[in-house]
Amino acid sequence: MTARKINRIAVFTSGGDAPGMNAAIRAAVRTATKNDLGVMGVRFGYQGMIDDDFIEMHHHSVSNILQHGGTILKSARSEDFRKAEGRKKAVENLRKHNIDAIVAIGGDGTFRGATVLHDEYGFPVVGVPGTIDNDLFGTDETIGYDTALNTAMEAIDKIRDTADAHDRLFLVEVMGREAGFIALETGIATGAELILLPEAVKKIDYIRDSLNKVFKVQRRSSLVIVAEGDETGGALSLAEKLKDDFGKYEMRVCVLGHLQRGGSPTSHDRVLAGRLGSAAVQALLNGHTSVMAGVLNHKNALTPMHKTWSEKKSIDFELLELAQVIR
Ligand code: ATP
């Protein structure tokens, strides 16, 4: 907790963009202005802080944005901010604009940066979890995750139609370099025959045997959902390993890629973003710093910033077992 009086805050989005970031910006700006705080937006995340890319924000600056994907404040990855010299420049600019505290909307990397900023300069900062990966400890869900799940599910339903028409094997890669949350839930939602995740490594012989059962015994189409960070090296690499195994049954690969990041946020993500963008500003007003505003068991919860990235959020292994039962 800090006793420092806050008159003016800065809001920014950083790292990979996620649908719902705009709704989170809107909630933070409007909660701040309702509490008579000045607000500045920083464009392009930490890089904008270093490059002095600040804009004044008011109630109407965030009108008509909550239904749009992307982020009106833009996002970036900044190598300069990883260096002490870059962070010194960022803090000089924050002070020049009379910023007393910041709201950081992003993923684990963004919160690592925020932790360093707080530890080095004591700068008050509260995080809002904005990433499609859902891999942050301290919140049941991150902003953008639900939209990404639905986007992937719709795409995979279409792939299933064509796979079924030809009795083909499709390897579909979804995002998730470190974590398999998207793969697990889209796999269940689309009835995938196999789900491959970094958290539950499967040997290539097991994968081959499972798919053989589907193809040679049941003779039907098959969908494998592969998280990009899976041990197999992703869908393209897995296809290479399996290329000689399925005879006349054709195999196809589809990497869903960045389409999972775009699109209008679902109602779930808009509400979550509204809740957490507002909770972050309230937390600053209540004297909290170096925490992330999240939702645990349907209730708002603050988690120390360093725990959000240093502790590992686990996938639900019961869901993984369920996937095997009902596939
Ligand atoms: P996503 O989960 O969607 O990828 P992210 O917030 O994890 O989003 P990153 O690119 O990992 O995205 O991090 C965003 C930025 O945070 C980095 O480009 C860098 O500027 C800053 N950052 C990350 N780690 C550190 C660190 N250890 N020290 C200082 N800054 C950091």
CATH fold match for the domains 8-144+265-310 and 145-262:
yes
The confidence score (pLDDT) of residue 221 equals: 82
What distance in angstroms lies between residue 44's CA and the mean position of ligand 1's atoms? 12
Q: Which long-range contacts (CB under 8 A, 24 or more apart) does 282-287 make?
A: 282/31, 283/126, 284/6, 284/9, 284/101, 284/103, 284/124, 284/126, 285/6, 285/35, 285/37, 287/1, 287/2, 287/3, 287/4
Q: What distances in angstroms separate CA 320 from CA 236, 240, 255, one per listed residue? A: 23, 25, 22
**pLDDT lower than 50: segments of the chain:** 2
Class for the domain spanning 8-144+265-310: alpha beta
Cβ 28 vs Cβ 128: under 8 Å: yes
Question: Residue 218: is it exposed, middle or buried by C-beta count within 10 angstroms (0-12/13-18/19+)?
Answer: exposed
Task: Let me know if 133 is a catalytic residue.
Answer: yes
- Write down the domain spans for the chain: 8-144+265-310, 145-262
The confidence score (pLDDT) of residue 327 equals: 84
The confidence score (pLDDT) of residue 1 equals: 55
**CATH homologous superfamily of 145-262:** Phosphofructokinase domain (3.40.50.460)
Cβ 144 vs Cβ 18: under 8 Å: yes
In terms of Cα–Cα distance, which of 145, 129, 180 is closest to 293? 129
What distance in angstroms lies between residue 2's CA and the mean position of ligand 1's atoms? 25
Considering the candidates 53, 133, 135, 269, report the single residue annotated as catalytic: 133
- Ligand 1 pocket: which of 12, 82, 258 to mutate (most atoms within 8 A of CB): 82
Q: One-letter amino acid identity for 124?
A: P
Q: Please report how many Cα atoms fall inside a 13 Å half-sphere around the Cα of residue 177, on the Cβ side.
A: 5
Ligand 1 atom index nearest CA of 16 = 3
pLDDT in tens, 59-77: 999 999 999 999 999 999 9
